[in-house]
A and B are shown apart, each in its own frame.
Chain A
Amino acid sequence: MNETDILIDIKDVSKAFPGVLALDHVDFCLRRGEVHGLMGENGAGKSTLIKVLTGLYPKDGGQILFEGRPFTLSSPLEAAGHGISTLYQEVNLIPALSVAENIYIGREPKRFGRIDWKKINTDARVAIQKLDLDIDVTQPVSTYSVAIQQLVAITRALEISAKVLILDEPTSSLDLAEVSQLFKVVRRLKKEGIGILFVTHFIDQVYEITDRITVLRNGRFIGEFETSKLSRIELISHMLGKDPEVFSKEQEDAAMKIRTRKTSAEPFLEVKHLERKGSMTAFNLTVNKGEVLGLAGLLGSGRTETARLLFGIDRANGGKVLLDGEQINISSPRNAIEKYFAFCPENRKEEGIIEDLTIRENIILALQARSGIFRAISQKRQNEIADQYIDLLSIKTPSASQMVKNLSGGNQQKVIIARWLATDPRFLILDEPTRGIDVGAKAEIEKLIVGLSEKGLAILFISSEMEEVINCSDKINVLRDRKILTELAGEDMEVSNIMRVIADKEAGI
């Protein structure tokens, strides 16, 4: 490898926060024209490394070379000046402004001191077409999908400068087709010699797109590997710090356990011809006691819509729901909760946690809501409940009076699960409970799901990761285009089968 090919060389960089050594002598090297994956669990130091690199945090020790010259940044704005752009999970665009305005905001081409709209729009069109995108640049950004918005953000980054592109979990909210569109652009940029740093939780995507992987664990540099020479199990074991064989056996055991177990055939919840116009085509579904029913399908296939209907967030236009053989009517979440239903929504931040309240309050809220305003749960009881679930789910926090916003994503998810477990539910709906959280916490949550079902809880489990659905579920309903196509159980639950059902045009008709 030629020395001049190295764009960024991070050597021995450390960064300490009060009480934690976030980066402990970390090395990282990004070359021209490569896609470099940065992997690690939450708290491994990925985001700290990116923030040090882009000048958001000052480093405590070590050095950073940019094209062979030592350099120190004091602000993200400076980073942009050097040709380093960062794309975050949340799209940093102004929704109400047009695509073209977003691309050139702050650097509008001017004519006689006034903005040259003609030039902005033609330039934007040219820039957008470089990414094989054919959209109307005069339309507001908000009219396009998240994937297109990401591409617009990339276009802006490329227009400002184009040497290093940092992608910090850009695919979390994209579906498969959108991801492949994004990756097409990434490959093209790679050919043009841009160095791309790619951070994600999706193992599949890392193998699809990266040339090299650097693994961090607990702030320490574990190693740099060529993607083609690193097996998945090795990668995961590096991230977790566990022996690969032990780890794979643990996983297999868990999957075997659930696949071979016998569940009761006692139907708990039966749904018949439930439908909502414009949202879900009429569907049937049965969950037995102590059973995990998985919903598999692409983004927008109707998984969340199904959950919302069952929990009374959206009202059905037709069909009926039987609970223990008796017909029930669920017209609001409050209604559902009275029937001991529980729902962990997909958007943790908007629909789940209440950031500005404490962990304790977040945990007891649903229980308090069910017991009503006037039967207040005593302070003592609140603390007992909170401590019990912090223990049970091993939520990492110094105390129950911490604000929930101070927790990591995985721990916030556990708080929401704790909230519902505190209500002693009989039916638990989990919509993407493992999205955006690290491998370790994910494994814990998966284990918890199986454990809960063994205690007799009926669970509806939604996830966009098919392996996960297969590992956790007793049976799987496959969805496409707001329709439940078929049910798979036992040996039939395989990724290839699910994919075939989704791709098969005839299925379910």
Chain B
Amino acid sequence: MKTGEKLRNENFQRLLWPLMALLGILLFNFFFTPGFFHIEIKDGHFFGSLVDIANRAAPVMLLAIGMTLVFASGGVDLSVGAIMAISGAVAATVIRPDYVKGVIAYGEMQPLFYVIAIPLVFSLIAGLWNGLLVAYIGIQPIIATLILMVAGRGIAQLITQGQIVVFIHEPFQYIGSGFFLGLPFPIILVLMVYAATYFLTRKTGLGLFIEAIGANSVASHFMGIRERLIKLSVYIFSGFCAGLAGLIICADIKAADANNAGLFLELDAIAAVIIGGTIWGGRFTLLGSIIGTLIIQSLTTTILTRGVAPEVTLVFKAFVIILVSLIQSEKFRGLFSRRLAVKKVSGS
């Protein structure tokens, strides 16, 4: 079908530049980092740099999936890093409720369901708070979510009483460091959330509604789209994704660090969404955001394996974000192609 082809074309166009950037980084490693593409199977588990990159990128991928929808609806969620901290803090507290009072003993082992469900409920409430402020009270998204970005970390500190709560809980640790079908469980979790989100947005009317609201909220209201409710749900979903990401990190390090868990990851998520080609308020691409996250993570890994100090990676990151954003700008590309055209003319 002709129109179908065209649409796919539009999607493809959007993904083209991010994919090129990712391929570029991989290609660089292919030539300069020995063993980068090497994957081996140990005890039925896959190991290698590529698996490692995907595994490390998993929390930000989850954030980016939620952020993509928030972005498309014309907002932004700055609080996801703080929600991660809350989620981790709650999980650790559920496992060791008396640790903060100085009781070293575990007591009864908490069922896995509670350890997962209670933090997620907290995350949903955090998302609900953001969504209410934005959709029903009408506060600018950047301000509304800034509140929880600042206060959320404080809440997490309150829960852990300012301590780093360490714990051992085998079933829960599986979320951070387990393997499923040979792959690290965080990757599997991302795949599941990605598939569910894709299905929910693209196989129903929801994705189109989010895009319509982001591109023109008044017109959407006039068409009978429940724009407030949808905006609210988008923030709740973003909170949920952040909660999951928080659980992964907490389970991986077997501790809740309210100070550092998810610190600045909201910025990584925003960068990933932008690099991935989702414009603010309108069209979104989930796959693009996943690719965007992979770009950032593979870049970080590349720099680290080349022995550059970790502090400097931020500069490289900034550089790549600028580069990819520039390439995506039609104006910038136009500038370039015009230059080339002039050169061709003068050359002939």
The reply to whether the CB of A366 lies closer than 8 angstroms to some CB of chain B is yes
Chain B 1-13 per-residue mask, 1 if CB under 8 angstroms from chain A, else 0: 1111011001000
Question: A365 to B212, Cβ gap below 8 A?
Answer: yes
The reply to whether the CB of B140 lies closer than 8 angstroms to some CB of chain A is no
The reply to whether the CB of B45 lies closer than 8 angstroms to some CB of chain A is no
Contact segment of A188-196, A318-326, A344-352, A472-480: A344-352
B58 to chain A, nearest CB (A): 28
Question: A356 to B283, Cβ gap below 8 A?
Answer: yes
Question: A365 to B208, Cβ gap below 8 A?
Answer: yes
29 pairs from A and B in contact (CB 8 Å cutoff) = A333-B222, A333-B223, A334-B225, A337-B223, A337-B224, A345-B222, A350-B218, A351-B222, A352-B219, A352-B222, A354-B215, A354-B220, A355-B215, A356-B282, A357-B208, A361-B208, A365-B212, A365-B220, A366-B224, A369-B225, A370-B224, A373-B204, A374-B204, A374-B205, A377-B205, A379-B4, A383-B4, A401-B3, A401-B6
The reply to whether the CB of A368 lies closer than 8 angstroms to some CB of chain B is yes
B208, B221, B282 pick with most chain A CB within 10 angstroms: B208
Given known A369-B209, A419-B223, contact A355–B216 (CB-CB < 8 A): yes
B199 to chain A, nearest CB (A): 11
Question: A400 to B219, Cβ gap below 8 A?
Answer: no
Question: A373 to B205, Cβ gap below 8 A?
Answer: yes
A395 to chain B, nearest CB (A): 14
The reply to whether the CB of B226 lies closer than 8 angstroms to some CB of chain A is yes
The reply to whether the CB of B344 lies closer than 8 angstroms to some CB of chain A is no
B313 to chain A, nearest CB (A): 35
Question: B219 to A399, Cβ gap below 8 A?
Answer: no
The reply to whether the CB of B268 lies closer than 8 angstroms to some CB of chain A is no
Binding site for A on B (CB under 8 A): 1-4, 6-7, 10, 203-206, 208-209, 211-212, 215-216, 218-226, 279, 282-283
A72 to chain B, nearest CB (A): 20
- Chain A residue nearest to B221 in the complex (CB): A333
Given known A353-B216, A401-B7, contact A365–B223 (CB-CB < 8 A): yes
The reply to whether the CB of A343 lies closer than 8 angstroms to some CB of chain B is yes
Distance, CA A71 to CA B216, complexed state (A): 43
The reply to whether the CB of A313 lies closer than 8 angstroms to some CB of chain B is yes
Distance, CA A376 to CA B282, complexed state (A): 19
A61 to chain B, nearest CB (A): 20
- Chain A residue nearest to B220 in the complex (CB): A354
The reply to whether the CB of A32 lies closer than 8 angstroms to some CB of chain B is no
Question: A369 to B211, Cβ gap below 8 A?
Answer: no
Q: Which residues of A, 365-411, contact B by the 8 Å Cβ criterion? A: 365-366, 368-377, 379-380, 383, 399-401
Binding site for B on A (CB under 8 A): 311, 313, 332-334, 336-338, 343, 345, 350-358, 360-361, 365-366, 368-377, 379-380, 383, 399-401, 419
Q: Which 8 A-B pairs have the closest CB atoms?
A: A337-B224, A334-B224, A401-B6, A356-B282, A356-B215, A369-B224, A366-B223, A354-B216
- Chain B residue nearest to A401 in the complex (CB): B6
Distance, CA A343 to CA B221, complexed state (A): 12
Residues in A whose Cβ lies below 8 Å from that of B223:
333, 337, 365-366, 369, 419
A344 to chain B, nearest CB (A): 9
17 additional contacts (CB under 8 A) given A354-B219, A373-B209: A336-B224, A345-B219, A350-B219, A354-B215, A357-B211, A357-B215, A357-B283, A360-B3, A361-B208, A365-B225, A368-B208, A369-B209, A372-B205, A373-B204, A377-B205, A401-B6, A419-B223
Distance, CA A373 to CA B209, complexed state (A): 8
Distance, CA A401 to CA B283, complexed state (A): 14
Pick from A334, A351, A376, A377: contact of B226, CB below 8 A: A334
Residues in B whose Cβ lies below 8 Å from that of A376:
203-205
A74 to chain B, nearest CB (A): 16
Distance, CA A243 to CA B4, complexed state (A): 43
Question: B222 to A313, Cβ gap below 8 A?
Answer: yes
Distance, CA A401 to CA B8, complexed state (A): 10
Distance, CA A478 to CA B93, complexed state (A): 70
Residues in B whose Cβ lies below 8 Å from that of A358:
7
Residues in B whose Cβ lies below 8 Å from that of A369:
205, 209, 223-225
A53 to chain B, nearest CB (A): 24
Distance, CA A360 to CA B216, complexed state (A): 16
Distance, CA A400 to CA B205, complexed state (A): 18
B151 to chain A, nearest CB (A): 32
Question: B224 to A333, Cβ gap below 8 A?
Answer: yes
Question: A399 to B206, Cβ gap below 8 A?
Answer: no
A370 to chain B, nearest CB (A): 6
Distance, CA A278 to CA B2, complexed state (A): 52
Given known A353-B219, A368-B205, contact A399–B2 (CB-CB < 8 A): yes
- Chain B residue nearest to A398 in the complex (CB): B6
Distance, CA A338 to CA B220, complexed state (A): 15
Distance, CA A379 to CA B209, complexed state (A): 15
A488 to chain B, nearest CB (A): 30
Distance, CA A317 to CA B191, complexed state (A): 52
